[in-house]
Structure 1
Amino acid sequence: YLSLSHHFLPNPATPLSQPMPRCCSAMILNPFLVAMAVAFTSAVTGCPVLCTCHSQVVDCSGQRLFSVPPDLPLDTRNLSLAHNRITTIPPGYLTCYVELRVLDLRNNSLAELPAGLFLMTRRLAHLDLSYNNFSHVGADMFQEAHSLVRINLGHNPWLRKVHPQAFQGLAQLRDLDLSYGGLSFLSLEALEGLPGLVTLQIGGNPWVCSCTMEPLLKWLRNRIQRCMSDSQLAECRAPPEVEGAPLFSLTEESFKACHLTLTLDDYLFIAFVGFVVSIASVATNFLLGITANCCHRWSKASEDEEI
């Protein structure tokens, strides 16, 4: 202590107003800078147990994890949690990872995502949610994930519903995979807000090719440039007259019955036929009643004669 004090005391021959040399300031501040640097480095480079980390890629796939690993490196760009047994993701889990570009959650047991999961991951471009247990895609599922280019929701066998605003605000989305789920209907509104959509995979779903499907098919023919050889996999499950038919083989003629309109003459004819049928029904019931009454009297008269 005395030795250090001796070096830091100003020279009596030096005026007190002279500033302290830079090396002295550096010696005082260095311990704090080193401590901060060490703390920052450990936060950035620390790798979770059972995961491997290299060049901003964190791979935790195939580790039989039941929950997501905590404390990922802050500069993570590619995160793989595939082939595990994860059932839930905590709210705000991705808040600190603003550099995240790729998130792979395929082949887990996820049934839903917490609201606002992607609020801070503004650079997320690729999201894989395939082979999970999602039953619906909500309106706020991808909230604020405006940089998404690809979403894979394929092979979710319980997926029955996609909200009309599920993909709202995803103007950069190019590839959307909804194949091999339980979808029987998809609202046109869910796709109209995707100007950059190029690839849409919808095969392997039990589509109901009724009149409600016509707007979607018409839009697909006009907007989608290619369907990744998916057109032959998309088949109608109902109604019976088109069961097994490729979805994209349906034409405007297939939906001709959906556009039939009735004229005034048609309504008058239907009213006349209904009136005639009603009169005929009343007359038939009247005749049947008379016949039954006569039969009853004849039977009673026969019994009286025998007595």
Structure 2
Amino acid sequence: MATLPPPKMRVLLLLLQLLLLAAASRPCPRPCSCPQPAELHCTFRSLVSIPSGVSSEVERINLGFNSINKMTDRSLAGLRKLELLMVHGNDLHSLPDGAFRDLTSLQMLKMSYNKLSQVSRRTLQGLWSLARLHLDHNRLEFLHPDTFQGLTSLRVLQLEGNRLRQLHPATFTTFSLLSHFHVSTLRHLYLADNGLTSLHPGLLEAAPLLENLQLHGNPWNCDCHMSWLRDWHNNSPG
């Protein structure tokens, strides 16, 4: 016959079970809806900031089409299981350094249709699992050469509809070898409808996996300095 634990131990076990139950049944932040325990839907809620009290167990968050105008480096803290984050159609002008540092499981980030003017070298730190990044239709004028450094899972990058005029040759590098050999893991790159007049050849030399490159809607200088792009297009796998 199994012996029962002492009374104090039974009380501690009961308290632990209650704490676990409370964590699992954490209420859905108002005014959002949670159709599934791992989902948080907050579209069209007139939000001006990211809701607080989001469960650390959440895997998908949709904050699209609100009036969110500020994000702090703690707005998304602790969301290590988050796989999808959509903050499109808001009023964000900037993103703080380290805003996504806890989102190590995030695979898709959609920041389309905001008012971002730049992304710094530390903005995207921690997004090691990110495969798709949507920064299209913002006001981006500058991308630091190390903006995407460390995003070794990145395959799709959408930057169309911004105000980019120049791109450093190392802009799309996702990892470097010995600080000299720069490599990009991108397969799909969208640069349409910006203000680009030329591209440095090194920009694509470091992207051996690139299959799809969208460049239409830019005021290109079609001279001999751009002839390399025709050769790249003819030899590209896409």
Counterpart code for 1:204: D
SS of match in other structure, 2:85: strand
SS of 1:22's equivalent in the other structure is coil
Q: Quick check: 1:197 aligned with 2:178?
A: no
Q: Return closer, same or farther for 1:192/1:224 CA change in 2, 3 Å cut-off.
A: same
SS at 1:38's partner residue?
helix
Is 1:70 equivalent to 2:46 in the alignment? no
2:201 aligned with 1:225, yes or no?
no
Q: How does 1:112-261 map to 2 (within 5 A)?
A: 112-156=94-138, 158-193=139-174, 194-209=183-198, 213-215=199-201, 219=205, 223-227=209-213, 230-231=214-215, 234-237=216-219, 242=222, 250-252=226-228
CA shift in 2, pair 1:176/1:101, >3 Å: same
The verdict on how the C-alpha distance between 1:252 and 1:137 changes in structure 2, with shifts beyond 3 A counting, is: same
Written as runs of structure 1 = structure 2, the 5 A alignment for 1:54-69 is 54-69=36-51
Tell me: CA distance 1:29–1:132, structure 2 relative to 1, closer, same or farther (3 Å): same
Residues 24 and 127 (structure 1), Cα distance of their counterparts in 2 relative to 1, 3 Å cut = closer
Q: Secondary structure at the match of 2:189?
A: strand
Asked whether the equivalents of residues 149 and 172 of structure 1 are also in contact (C-alpha less than 8 Å), the reply is yes
Change (3 A) 1:221 1:137: closer
The size of the alignment, in residue pairs, is: 217
Structure ranking higher on relative contact order (CA contacts 8 Å, 6+ apart)? 2
Worse-matched range after superposition: 65-74 or 42-51: 42-51
* Equivalent residues of 1:44, 1:74 under 8 A apart: no
Segments of 5+ residues of structure 2 without an aligned counterpart are 175-182, 231-238
Q: What is aligned with 1:287? A: none
* CA deviation map 1:98-141 (0-9, x unaligned): 11111111111112222222222211111111111100111111
- Partners of 2:170 and 2:47 in 1: how far apart? 37
What TM-score results when the alignment is normalised by the length of structure 1? 0.64
Identify unmatched segments of 5+ residues in structure 1.
Answer: 1-20, 255-307
Deviations 1:123-162 (A, max 9, x none): 1111111111100111111112111111100010x21001
Q: Structure 1 residue 188: deviation in Å?
A: 1.8
Q: Is the 8 A contact 1:207 1:235 kept in 2?
A: no
CA contact (8 A) 1:129 1:154 kept: yes
Deviation at 1:87, TM superposition (A): 0.8
TM-score normalised by structure 2 residue count = 0.81
1:32 aligns with 2:12: yes
Report sequence identity in percent.
Answer: 25
CA contact (8 A) 1:180 1:205 kept: yes
Contact 2:201 2:228 in 1 (8 A): no
For 1:168 and 1:94, the matched residues in 2 are separated by 21
Q: Distance in 2 between matches of 1:32 and 1:101?
A: 34
Question: What RMSD, in angstroms, separates the aligned Cα atoms of the two structures?
Answer: 2.5
Instruction: Decide which structure has the larger Cα Rg and report it.
Output: 1
1:88 correspondence with 2:77: no
Would the alpha carbon gap of residues 67 and 204 (structure 1) be closer, same or farther in structure 2, given more than 3 Å must change? same
In structure 2, relative to structure 1, the CA distance for the partners of 1:48 and 1:180 (3 Å cut) is same
In structure 2, the CA distance between the partners of 1:93 and 1:22, relative to structure 1 (3 Å rule), is farther
Contact 1:186/1:216 (CA < 8 Å) preserved in 2?
A: no
- Counterpart CA distance in 1 for 2:202 and 2:153 is 20
